[in-house]
Structure 1
Amino acid sequence: MESLTEVIEHHPDLTMSDTVPLEQRYKASMVLSGAGDALGCNHGTWEFENDGVLIHEQVQKRGGLEKLDAIDFPVSDDTVMHLATAEALVKVGEGEGASLPVLYRALVEKYIVSMTDMAGRGAGDLRGSGTGSVDTHHALREGHPACGHRLMEVLDKAKEYVRHSGNCVELNMAHWDYFGIQWKSYLEKRGILDGKSKPQFPDFYGVKERESFYRAVSFKGCGGASGHDAPMIAYDALLRAGDSWVELANHGFFHGGDSDSTAVIAAAWWGALFGFRGVPEINYQRLEYRDRLSKLGERLYKLRGKHLGSLKE
């Protein structure tokens, strides 16, 4: 992970015009995820608002994205949990005798503490966040989010792990295929299942068209509210936006449904790719927990050589 190891071949619209230092991208991934979360939530006003057109109208009435000051937008439960997860990873990574039981215990401890910081943050249930983690890892390592076919490969490996784990195998297998089927369908629709082609979008992909698409790929008509469609919508926004933070927000933050869940993922990926380049400082400079997020990004960067995925039971 110490350098950009591949040129963006599959999605040239995501090519960086210059090399952003890896440490800065770690920090930006953490900080901007919080910024996206806060902006997508807007005190719960925009989160779960069904009318995406209305949200865009309200953003414009406030002067557009470039006028939205982070100090006016507290983070939601998504960032609180993100912080807890990062702190657990850092605690284990910096400690001695790391193992899966140690990691699990650290996660539980941090999550319990995080529950004391949920007042007014719209706390919900935990999601299938593996897709976001996998693609953030690839964005940091290779300079682009994981191509869709790699996700399908990871799903196959994860399925085999669950089968051999002996833990709730029957229950997991009963619902496992839904995620993969939905993602395969999406990747085929965008023409990128082969991992080589450039993503295909409609000639006109405005707010109303996106709203219709997000509802169509969702579980119950609420875009971003489920474990498969939150990262899917975030990925769609990233592919469409390229290196434009404004377009990322238009597609991934401001839409009907669970907008902060898609925003926290999309912004984390964008930061991992581009750092803070082109992001108005007003969107993150006075963000709640900015320093905490930034310092965790720095500590995670220093731990990048330690692969927690190889921890033993």
Structure 2
Amino acid sequence: MEKFKAAMVLGGVGDALGFRNSSWEDYASGKTIQKELKQLGGLEKLVLDEENWPVSDDTLMHMATAEALTSDYWSLEDLYREMVRLYVSAVEKIQGRRPDPATVEGCLQLKPNNYILAWHTPFNEKASGFGAATKAMCIGMRYWQPERIENLVEVSIECGRMTHNHPTGFLGSFCTALFASFAIQGKPVVQWGRDMLKRLPMAEEYCRKTIRHMAEYQEHWFYFEAKWQFYLEERQIAEDGENKPAFPDHYDVEEMDKTYRRWSSEGRPGRRGHDAPMIAYDALLGAGSNWAELCSRAIFHGGESGATGSIAGCLYGLMYDLNNIPKGLYEKLENRERLEHLGEALYRSSKEEK
């Protein structure tokens, strides 16, 4: 239970650190961010509070997803209707926190008063962003057992395409949910990427089964997979995931920014559904249990650092809990008590059969 609570809280911590009240997300240079961090006294000296270090829309949408998953639903359709209700009500809350445009647009297209089509949104050419990935880790926490993989696939895809109805977007939610389940199962991190690709056919089969938008999906489907194949080959991670990843001998913040930009689709690291989870995953591979090193790699870089920080923080919490985290980073965190409550509720719900 403590790791579930830590995951929800550290997702918020990673988000708040990367977001820095919207200022650090404007920076293209991790070197500039790390220089400012040093001027603030370093990571150990920071005290995150609601006024100066608020969470972004990433955490608020993740909380909304977790609220739905821990509600008293009787079927997955009821779960989706509850997600719709909570996402629509979240639109007003996320204003002023520089939300992902696709998240806002998707929420406005949901139909809470339509019982049958409430969660059906149109295909959106521009909905390939990170917002689906950052709200879905809790789905993997709810359905973490290997025998619940079909639930995880379905819920993560439906949740993702409510707001990001584009394969690069909703495959991001499938990816982060799956990684969360792997973390709880204790699967070695180096195996996650390859094992995720092995399960991609399940996501495609589910989309075929639901019929909607398959012509549009087919046109864009393989971008996500191709980017991940390229990444895994660059890190020389074998098919069986038994080897150590290969990092450059010289890998400072400038080289890291350069690498992340190469993985991105538009030169802004973490902006899309494929590279936000990718950067978080790469940081976990490189940092192990070292929290400060994880922050350097997953948060203090140029681009969408709040998105990559929220994913990496949540997954780190599922593996290592709060033992190595400076208390100043989470004791006064915005919504901390609610995040802890949701972590506990997810733990209890994951033990129940539905």
TM-score (norm 2): 0.77
Contact 2:73 2:79 in 1 (8 A): no
Give matches, 1:244-283, under 5 Å. 244-283=290-329
Contact 1:67 1:282 in 2 (8 A): yes
Distance 1:193 1:305, change over 3 A: farther
Note the C-alpha offset of 1:307.
6.5
Distance 2:352 2:258 in 1: 42
Deviation readout 1:46-94 (Å, 9 max, x if unpaired):
0131121100100000011111111131000000000000000001xxx
Residue in 2 aligned with 1:100?
76
Distance 1:268 1:182 in 2: 23
Percent of pairs identical after alignment?
41
Residue in 2 aligned with 1:237?
283
Distance 2:98 2:181 in 1: 27
Distance 1:207 1:153 in 2: 32
Bigger mean CA deviation after superposition, 202-211 or 146-155: 146-155
Amino acid at match of 1:101: E
Deviation readout 1:146-185 (Å, 9 max, x if unpaired):
5211110121111122123211111111100000000011
Distance 2:344 2:55 in 1: 20
Amino acid at match of 2:83: L
Give matches, 1:154-169, under 5 Å. 154-169=199-214
Residue in 2 aligned with 1:188?
233
Deviation readout 1:110-166 (Å, 9 max, x if unpaired):
111111211321111243322111101110122644521111012111112212321
Distance 2:33 2:309 in 1: 14
Contact 2:180 2:315 in 1 (8 A): yes
Question: For 2:94, which of 118, 127, 134 is the aligned residue?
Answer: 118
Distance 2:353 2:26 in 1: 36
Note the C-alpha offset of 1:219.
0.8
Does 2:189 match 1:209? no
Amino acid at match of 2:69: L
Which structure has more relative contact order (CA 8 Å, sep 6+)? It is: 1
Distance 2:317 2:35 in 1: 26
Does 2:26 match 1:26? no
Distance 1:237 1:46, change over 3 A: same
Residue in 2 aligned with 1:51?
29
Distance 1:192 1:306, change over 3 A: farther
Contact 1:184 1:193 in 2 (8 A): no
Distance 2:353 2:298 in 1: 30
Distance 2:283 2:10 in 1: 15
Contact 1:144 1:273 in 2 (8 A): no
Distance 1:143 1:165 in 2: 30
Distance 1:307 1:122, change over 3 A: farther
Residue in 1 aligned with 2:216?
171
Give matches, 1:220-231, under 5 Å. 220-231=266-277
SS of match in other structure, 2:25: coil
Distance 2:192 2:332 in 1: 34
Distance 1:182 1:116 in 2: 34
Amino acid at match of 1:137: S
Residue in 1 aligned with 2:333?
287
Amino acid at match of 1:134: L
Bigger mean CA deviation after superposition, 260-269 or 134-143: 134-143
Amino acid at match of 2:292: V
Bigger mean CA deviation after superposition, 120-129 or 172-181: 120-129
Please list every run of 5 or more consecutive structure 1 residues that lacks an aligned counterpart in the other structure: 1-22, 309-313
Distance 1:214 1:198 in 2: 20
Residue in 2 aligned with 1:140?
184
Does 2:116 match 1:70? no
Q: CA RMSD in A?
A: 1.3
Q: How many residues align?
A: 282
Bigger mean CA deviation after superposition, 161-170 or 245-254: 161-170
SS of match in other structure, 1:147: helix
Distance 1:66 1:234 in 2: 21
Greater helix percent: which structure?
2
Contact 1:30 1:294 in 2 (8 A): yes
Note the C-alpha offset of 1:96.
5.2
Distance 1:190 1:307, change over 3 A: farther
